[in-house]
Amino acid sequence: MRVARPIPAFFCALGLVATAAPALAQGTYPDRPVKVIVALPAGGSTDMIARMVGQKMAAELGQPFVVDNKAGASGQIGTPMVARAAPDGYTIMVSPASFLTTNKSIFKTLPYDPQADFVPITKLVNQPMVLVAKDAQKFPSVAAVLQAARAAPGRVTYASSGDGSPQHLAALMFGTRTQSSMLHVPYKGGAPAINDTLAGNVDLMFAVLPEALPHIQSGKLQALAVMSAQRSAVLPQVPTMAESGVPQVELSAWVGLLAPARTPQPVIDRLRSAAHAALAGDTQTRLAASGMEVAPGTTQQLQDTIAAEIKLHAELVKAAGLAPQ
């Protein structure tokens, strides 16, 4: 009669770890607060989305989602922090498209790889862009902007939230398609860029609609045109670029939720489910009132979007003659 040999304790422990890890990822995540990095200052639309969605995700998953603003260098401070973080679901980021797409063309080198260092969880929202001016008498229309920009190339100024930002890319698209030239004035985020536009320190801004909407509605900024195929439901009186005589100038500044590469799939799935739930109901209503369109999706869909826009934005940057920094 053969006597079964006892299995060494080491291999028993390995077996327990192997079976427990998936269960932990699926069953108990998260069991402590989750840090949400936003590589922009507080007060802009990306920060607002992160806080609104994070609050709902916290209620859904039973742990705090703490927004941590790490602004500066066009995302090159906060974004690599997420790339280097442990892939355990406890450090994630809410990012504007530009940090994952345009930055690859704007800068010679980046301290992160937009495609290899992250796993997309879901797109959160699409945000239309709108051209706004402080001086409605000087710039009452897109035609007036073009006349001024062509008469004195580089004299008309526009603000953005940084090199490679959606505002910057929108201006590059506008300038390339209209053969006009304006002076770029970059800031460390949408909020300070809007503030200087309000103060009249710059002439124009191709703004993300949610950041500009309160100032448009109050009359402090003049909306000249939206960069979308149709007029915005919250600004039905404002024409599109095509209606203003400038076709093929359309751009949406999406915002996505991402985690470090190699984050376990059960954690990604749990975060995606919570994010999708967070975007429904009153959150969707509030976002729509701010000029945003909720846009939940899959990892693959966001991966495909990032890849396509890296290519498109590289073509725009090259056409604009902009040398990488």
The 10s digit of each residue's pLDDT in 148-164 is 999 999 999 999 988 87
The 10s digit of each residue's pLDDT in 180-233 is 999 999 988 888 999 999 999 999 999 989 889 999 999 999 999 999 989 999
- DSSP per-residue string spanning 166-225: HHHHHHHHHHHHHT---EEEE-SSHHHHHHHHHTTSSSEEEEEHHHHHHHHHTTSSEEEE
Q: Which of 185, 203, 184 is nearest to 137 (CA)?
A: 203
The 10s digit of each residue's pLDDT in 273-319 is 999 999 999 999 999 999 999 999 999 999 999 999 999 889 888 87
Alpha-carbon span 89 to 57, nearest angstrom:
13
What token pair was written down for 121? 């969880």
User: According to CATH, what is the number of the domain 33-127+254-319?
Assistant: 3.40.190.150
Place of tokens 């599109």: 240
Q: Tell me how crowded residue 186 is: count the other CB atoms within 10 A of its CB.
A: 16
Alpha-carbon span 46 to 3, nearest angstrom:
65
Would you mind telling me the total number of residues written for the chain in this entry? 325
What token pair was written down for 191? 């909020």
pLDDT at residue 27, as a whole number: 63
In the chain, domain spans: 33-127+254-319, 133-226
User: According to CATH, what is the number of the domain 133-226?
Assistant: 3.40.190.10
Q: Please check whether the two domains, 33-127+254-319 and 133-226, share a CATH topology.
A: yes
pLDDT at residue 11, as a whole number: 41
pLDDT at residue 2, as a whole number: 47
